[in-house]
Structure 1
Amino acid sequence: MSIKFNYSTDKSITIDQLKNYLDSTNISYSNREDLNSCALKLTELYNNRNFLADILIEELKNHNNIQSSNNYTSQVIIIESNKKYTIRANIWLPYANNLEEKKLYAYDNYHDHNFDLLTLGYFGPGYETILFEYDAEKTYGYIGEKVNINFKEKYTLKEGEILFLEKSKDIHLQCYPSEMSVSINIIMNEFSNKKSSQFEFDINDSSIKRILNNQSSKFLIELSSFFPSENLFEVIKTISVKNPYDYIRLSCFKTLLEMNKDSTTDILNYIRKDPSKLINSHYLKIVEQNN
């Protein structure tokens, strides 16, 4: 569930002190004391009103190689990223008529994350976020699936305030800020649920609208059905067993069935043995259709 923090302290820390804290402490957001402690450190970083400008100076000094390892869109600045955690700054601009600029942001997009997110309002009036909750344990994860979505509240991430969003539970939508705003995120990478999908939701219809992660893999797998070969079949078969994402394995099974329509028994056995609720429900649909 989402949690809000608004600590009051005069203490100020540098970004290196925050990194040292995260490096030397086994932080788990599922532990409330750890979460409170990490939120307090973010408050102390907020009190350092120069740290982000200092980072920009260092980045611009190396202008031919700015953010070379940043796989996010251009409004995200990676401050630190390693196996344990990621610290990033998100830049939020007011309403834009430019379509390309709109694509950079998650505005007008109700979505969840497969990682816990602790975020600080660092600069500007902040974006308003509309918060909902759903139960991932009761969700299969296919497009069009009806989901029990519950409205929680509207909240503006103001300067100095901190918001925690729980992975695969909290759904949120960011609204345009009135002026340019900056948030600072800490993501504990070692506790991210990389096996879970991230979804965009249709709030009005209470359903899953889109799967947000690994869409390139899904597309290439489904494309393979048009170019059947024994080697390609074996590659996709391997992915169907080893890939951690339910919907990627489901795409593999669908493609394998399409590539080998004359002999589906072995493939159906793979589908039947898969532990995923999503894939198991697909198996039952195939059995019903064949009876």
Structure 2
Amino acid sequence: MPQLIESTSAQTCSLSECEEALAHCNFDPLDPESTAVAAHWLKRLTNNRTFLADMLIDRITGRTQGDIESGYGPQAIVLSHRRGNMFLRANIWPAEQDLCFRNSGAGSFVYGVPHDHNFSFLTSGYCGPGYRSDYFEYDYEAVAGFTGEPASLNFIERSALHEGKIMLYRAHRDVHSQLPPESLSVSLNVMHVDPAQCWFDQYGFDLEQREVTRVLSPNATETFLRIAIGVGSDEALDYSEWVGRNHPSDRLRLASFEARAARLSNPCEQDDLWRMAEKSGGEMVMAIAKRRRAALAG
């Protein structure tokens, strides 16, 4: 499960002080000393009981416009610009009785969607009883990432992110299935940014079957590649063949074969393409290619 970090500090800090301190500590989740420093500043910000409400009221009333855009949706509030390899974020966790939960459903808040993360982050319970999680651990290196693949998930415990609790979620190791809190809650995050993280997938899991269900992390390169192949220029098709043979990302190589197969109406040509994919290497691509060939034969 995420690493619990004990802190009894009663000191407080402002959002800007926290941001500045974290920008200079070079937060590295693999380094215990660096993590301890970052956790100390997150604890100090968590102890500041007014900063978040003041910031939100300023934005609601128009006193400040806020120049930070969020790609996470309305549940997440990005609190700082990216500084070095980190930024600050707040997450809102509605309870089942809250109107936004009743209108949008559990899935909109990732409740009941077991998943890992392709990044590490520190989190603290800022207010409320906190979301609950069933926590698991698994071996990322043992998983190729295709739907239906067995994943050895080891259950650890169920616990809540209560006020003042600080944890380190470790990329590609900690899996959790979140449950709504008993009442509206907010958490704070120190998000670690790794330039390579977009090439490492985040997975959803089926806890009953102990299987991978799907890849959750978006990848713009994959989307662009599929569109280019769909348009069908000679240059795009030539490039897609190179990707299918040589790209280090299994996910991108699979996208190359899937997009090219979608252009083919002849089942024999599709089978030839998937036979090529089956021999291209990489467990994910090989497993999907076998399934596609079996479907064509059946």
Task: Decide whether the 8 Å contact of 1:143 with 1:209 is kept in 2.
Answer: yes
Matches within 5 A, 1:210-249: 210-214=214-218, 228=232, 230-234=234-238, 236-237=240-241, 240=244, 245-249=249-253
Length-normalised TM-score, structure 2: 0.82
Instruction: Read off the aligned partner of 2:194 and give its amino acid letter.
Output: E
Q: Say what the alpha-carbon RMSD is for the aligned residues.
A: 3.5
Q: Distance in 2 between matches of 1:24 and 1:198?
A: 28
Find the aligned partners of 1:244 and 1:52 in 2 and give their Cα distance.
Answer: 42
The letter for the 2-side match of 1:93 is P
Do structure 1's residue 129 and structure 2's residue 133 form an aligned pair?
A: yes
Distance 1:143 1:286 in 2: 13
Alignment length, in residue pairs? 289
Long gaps (5+) in structure 1: none
What is the match of residue 190 of structure 1?
194
Change (3 A) 1:251 1:136: same
Q: How does 1:159-178 map to 2 (within 5 A)?
A: 159-178=163-182
Distance in 2 (alpha carbons) for counterparts of 1:9 and 1:151: 31
Percent identity between matched residues is 25
Match runs of 1:148-163 below 5 Å: 148-163=152-167
Q: Which residue of 2 aligns with 1:279?
A: 285
Task: Tell me the TM-score normalized by structure 1.
Answer: 0.83
Q: 1:103 to 1:267 in 2, by over 3 A?
A: closer
* 8 Å contact kept, 1:224–1:255: no
Task: Report the counterpart of residue 87 of structure 1 in structure 2.
Answer: 88
Q: Are the structure 2 counterparts of residues 10 and 228 from structure 1 closer, same or farther at C-alpha, using a change threshold of 3 Å?
A: closer
> Can you give the 5+ residue segments of structure 2 that lack an aligned partner in the other structure?
none
1:169 to partner: Cα distance: 1.0
CA distances 1:244-266 after superposition (whole Å, capped 9, x unpaired): 75323212123335547759999
Shift of 1:101: 4.5
> For the residues of structure 2 that align with 1:17 and 1:240, how far apart are their CA atoms?
48
Q: Decide whether the 8 Å contact of 1:74 with 1:104 is kept in 2.
A: no
Asked if 1 retains the 8 angstrom alpha-carbon contact of 2:151 and 2:210, the reply is yes
Query: Does the 8 Å contact 1:250/1:279 carry over to 2?
Result: yes
1:253 equivalenced with 2:265 (yes/no): no
In structure 2, do the counterparts of structure 1 residues 63 and 205 end up closer, same or farther at CA, with 3 Å as the change threshold? farther
Contact residue 127 and residue 181 of structure 1 kept, 8 A: yes
Alpha carbons of structure 1 residues 288 and 128: separation in structure 2 relative to 1, 3 Å = closer
SS in 2 for 1:80: coil
| Displacement of 1:112 | 0.7
SS where residue 189 of structure 2 aligns?
A: strand
Residue 69 of structure 2 corresponds to which residue in structure 1? 69
Question: Offset of 1:283 from its aligned partner?
Answer: 6.8
Q: Is the 8 A contact 1:272 1:283 kept in 2?
A: no
Q: CA deviation at 1:286?
A: 9.0
Structure 1 residues 23 and 141: alpha-carbon distance in aligned structure 2, compared to 1, 3 A threshold: same
Q: Distance in 1 between matches of 2:198 and 2:230?
A: 29
User: 2:202 and 2:122 mapped to 1: Cα distance?
Assistant: 17
Q: Assess if the C-alpha contact under 8 Å between 1:133 and 1:150 holds in 2.
A: yes
